[in-house]
Structure 1
Amino acid sequence: MKNTEPRPVGPGLPPLCGDRARVLILGSFPSPKSREQGFYYGHPQNRFWPLMAALTRSPVPAWQDLEAKRAMIVDHGLAVWDVVRCCTIVGASDASIRDVEPNAVPELARRLGVEQIVCNGGTSARLYARWLEKDTGMAALCLPSTSPANAACTMPRLTEAWGAALFPWL
C-alpha cells in the first residue's frame, strides 16, 4: 500500500557536478527511488539517463553504473541538482510538495560559472521561479519532464525539446 500521508523529507541529494558547468539542470526533489539509490533519476522508468546519453552521444549507462552517469554529466559541462533541499511530500508526488526549504542554487551557479539553468518539468520551474530566480538573476528554461508520470511526452519529443535547449552548450 502506498503512503498517502504527507511527511517531512530531506535533505535531498548533493549536487552532481565537477568544478565548472555551463548548464545546471534542476529537478524538483529526488523521488523515493532516487533517495534509495543515493543518485539522481533513480527510477528505472525515468528517461533522464537515456536522454542524456542520446544528447551527449554517449553510451546509455547501466542503471547501477553511477560513475558512468556522473562522468557523462561532468564531462559535458553539465551539473544536476534539485530546487528543493527539504520539504513535506507524499511519496513521489511533486504536486504534494509543501513547506519548501530551497537548495543553495544561487551559490552553486556562481561557483560553477553556470550560464544557463534548465528545469526538468513544470514543478521544478515553478519552484525555481518562486524560490530562487531572483537570487540567481537567471530565468530558467522549462523543459518537459523526463518522469514516467509524463508518459504523454514521447522520447522523440523529449529529445527534440531538450536537444534544442542543450545543444548550444554541449
Structure 2
Amino acid sequence: MTRKASFPPITDARTRLLICGSLPGDRSLAAREYYAHPQNQFWRLIAAVIDREDLPALPYEPRLAALRDARIGLWDAVASATRAGSSDAAIAAVEANDLATLAASLPDLRAIAFNGATAHRLGLRQLGDAASRWTIHALPSSSPLHTIGLAAKLPAWLELRQALAA
C-alpha cells in the first residue's frame, strides 16, 4: 500500500483561523496543491467566507496569498498514512501532524476548523485538552465524495467569518 504525506502548513504569525483537512487526495498530491480536485468545493466555500468571488479562478499561489491576507491558514491532521485512492475511509496507519504545537505557535489564532468528519476526529485527538483554547468548527467536507450540495455546506462554512472579524 502506498504511503502518502501531507503538505507543510500554510500559516504565518497573523493566522486567526486554521482550517485542517485530513490528508490531501491523489489529485492534490499530484498537483502539490491543497484542494486541487476540480470538483472539490473548498475554494468556492472559502471564497464565500472571505467575499472573494474571483478566488477559485486565481492561480494557486495568489489563492494562498489571499488566504494569508484574510488571516486563514491551512494544514492537515494527518502527516502521512497508507491509503488506496482518495477516500478518508481508506486512511490507515496514520502518523499525525503535531497540530497542538502548530496551533500554540500562532499568537493570533482564534479558531480551528476541521474540513470533514475524519479531520475533526483526528484533529481533536491531537489537540487533546488544548482544544479548549480555541473555537472549534466541525465543517461538512468540501470533498466531492461528500455529496451534499454546496448550498447545504455553505451555512456552516460562513460561521468561520466570526473568527476573522476584527
| TM-score, normalising length: structure 1 | 0.87
CA distance in 2, matches of 1:90, 1:140: 29
Q: Which runs of 5+ in 1 are unaligned?
A: 1-5
Alignment partner, residue 112 of structure 2: 117
Residue number among 138, 141, 144 corresponding to 1:142 in the alignment: 138
Mapped partners of 1:135, 1:73: distance in 2: 28
Gaps of 5+ in 2: none
Q: How far off its partner does 1:160 sit?
A: 0.9
Where does residue 50 of structure 2 map in the other structure?
56
Distance in 2 of aligned mates of 1:161 and 1:168? 11
Q: Which moved more, 1:15-24 or 1:31-40?
A: 15-24
Quote the RMSD (CA, aligned, Å). 1.7
Q: Is the 8 A contact 1:125 1:140 kept in 2?
A: no
Cα deviation per residue 1:115-170 (whole Å; 9 max; x = unaligned)? 2111001011111123x121643473211001111122x21222211102x11122
1:82 aligns with 2:89: no
Mapped partners of 1:72, 1:136: distance in 2? 28
Identify if the C-alpha distance between structure 1 residues 62 and 126 changes in structure 2 by more than 3 Å, giving closer, same or farther. Answer: closer
Does residue 160 in structure 1 map to residue 155 in structure 2? yes
Instruction: Report the CA distance between 1:63 and its aligned residue.
Output: 5.2
CA shift, 1:64, in A, is 6.5
With the length of structure 2 as denominator, give the TM-score of the two structures. 0.89
Say which SS state the counterpart of residue 35 (structure 1) adopts.
Answer: helix
What is the aligned-residue identity percentage?
35
In structure 1, C-alpha distance between the alignment counterparts of 2:140 and 2:70, rounded to whole Å: 21
Post-superposition offset of 1:50 = 1.1
Taking the aligned partners of 1:30 and 1:134, their CA distance within structure 2 comes to 23
* Mapping 1:97-108, distance limit 5 Å: 97-108=91-102
Aligned length: 161
Number of the residue aligned with 2:89: 95
Separation in 1, partners of 2:144, 2:89: 15
Please tell me whether residue 38 in structure 1 is matched to residue 32 in structure 2.
yes
